[in-house]
């Protein structure tokens, strides 16, 4: 099996022309900058990030009189790493006990998979995990989650067809009563028509706060790294409704939109640069990695 870095690298270079590939055997001239601009836009880095990165690169090339394409590539890698660094943040697993984590994301983003990966990660750190099956609309998903919990030593609080906010409330109380370290509150990614997802999420957030005044301590959005500009719109909408504290960006092993995180870091289209706690780099339970700006930049540009 390929290493996760290799998979990340392969995913990020699916733009047809990989960013790193643009530097092979070329002269450092205006043509190179134009190709870089096109490639960054194609990778959904957005106009703001693209301009910022290329302005910084031009300045560096001029100042240090870089004439070798490999040097320019290394310079861009460093500039990108620095640009992405504000998104890097360790997940504060010990900030509260239990740590109450609300998790949102549209269906298909990889929410269920990511919750499994997170539970596994926390357990490996010696933490006990309790899960609230807050997507009460998908009966099959609920049952799947319960079965999964039984196999993985994770208590799952659920309620058939119940009120998701009530499930969340019960879970927070159960987490406290059982001395759990982490309570993850799953939420729906789509509602039956007539109901508004954002209103429901706000309600869940409010009700969690009633069970524990400081909670939720973390509000995560799981977002598909393949969706580019759409991911930006999702982050903005969920952030406006439930005030996100962090992101899990999935499917970066298969994406053609590696620039999305650069757009987030640049505050593109009014998005708040929400920290990226983890990235998903595969379908397996272990395919979750902390986001490290320098690693990401290296994967995009090596
Ligand atoms: P949900 O509807 O948001 O709960 O999405 P799921 O967790 O069911 O995931 C949807 C699909 O995406 C499934 O086929 C997952 O295996 C896949 N998936 C989730 N995360 C990743 C990832 O990081 N990499 C890859 N390649 N696939 C992923």
Q: Is the CB of 117 under 6 A from ligand 1?
A: no
User: What's the pTM?
Assistant: 0.95
- CA atoms of 233 and 236, how far apart (whole Å): 5
Any binding-site annotation on 251?
yes
Q: What distance in Å separates the CA atoms of residue 131 and residue 145, rounded to the nearest whole number? A: 9
110 lines ligand 1 (CB under 6 A): yes
Give 136-160 pLDDT, tens digit per residue: 777 787 888 888 899 898 999 998 7
CA within 13 Å, CB half, 243: 9
CA-to-CA distance for 168 and 182, rounded, in angstroms? 13
Which of 103, 113, 137 for mutating ligand 1's site (highest number of atoms within 8 Å of CB)?
113
State how far the Cα of 83 lies from the Cα of 273, in Å rounded to an integer: 11
Which pLDDT does position 192 carry in this prediction? Answer: 75
Confirm if 86 and 273 have CB atoms less than 8 A apart: yes
Question: Residue 225: CB within 6 Å of ligand 1?
Answer: no
Q: Using one digit for the tens of pLDDT, what is the confidence trace for 195-214? A: 799 999 999 999 999 999 99
- Tell me the residue ranges of DSSP E strands in the chain: 99-104, 129-132, 155-157, 182-186, 218-224, 246-250, 276-280, 288-290
Query: What are 174-186's pLDDT values in tens digits?
Result: 999 999 999 999 9
Residue 173 Cα to chain centre, angstroms: 28
CB distance 11 to ligand 1 below 6 Å: no
Residue 277 tokens read as 């706690």
């Amino acid at each position: 099996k390929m290493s996760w870095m290799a998979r990340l690298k392969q995913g990020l270079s699916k733009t047809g022309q990989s960013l790193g590939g643009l530097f092979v055997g070329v002269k450092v001239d205006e043509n190179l900058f134009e190709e870089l601009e096109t490639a960054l836009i194609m990778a959904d880095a957005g106009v703001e990030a693209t301009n910022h990165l290329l302005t910084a690169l031009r300045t560096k090339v001029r100042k240090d009189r870089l004439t070798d394409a490999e040097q320019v590539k290394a310079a861009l890698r460093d500039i990108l790493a620095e640009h992405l660094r504000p998104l890097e943040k360790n997940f504060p697993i010990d900030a509260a006990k239990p740590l109450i984590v609300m998790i949102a994301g549209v269906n298909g983003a990889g929410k269920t998979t990511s919750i499994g990966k997170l539970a596994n990660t926390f357990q490996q750190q010696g933490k006990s995990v309790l899960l609230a099956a807050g997507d009460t609309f998908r009966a099959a998903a609920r049952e799947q989650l319960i079965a999964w919990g039984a196999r993985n030593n994770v208590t799952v609080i659920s309620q058939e067809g119940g009120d998701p906010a009530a499930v969340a409330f019960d879970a927070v109380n159960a987490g406290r009563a059982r001395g759990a370290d982490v309570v993850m509150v799953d939420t729906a990614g789509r509602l039956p028509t007539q109901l508004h997802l954002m209103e429901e999420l706000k309600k869940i957030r409010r009700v969690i706060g009633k069970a524990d005044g400081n909670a939720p301590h973390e509000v995560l959005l799981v977002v598909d790294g393949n969706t580019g500009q759409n991911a930006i719109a999702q982050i903005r909408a969920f952030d406006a409704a439930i005030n996100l504290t962090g992101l899990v960006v999935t499917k970066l092993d298969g994406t053609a939109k590696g620039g999305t995180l650069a757009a987030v870091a640049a505050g593109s289209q009014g998005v708040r640069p929400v920290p990226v706690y983890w990235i998903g780099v595969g379908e397996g339970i272990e395919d979750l990695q902390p986001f490290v700006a320098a690693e990401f930049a290296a994967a995009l540009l090596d």
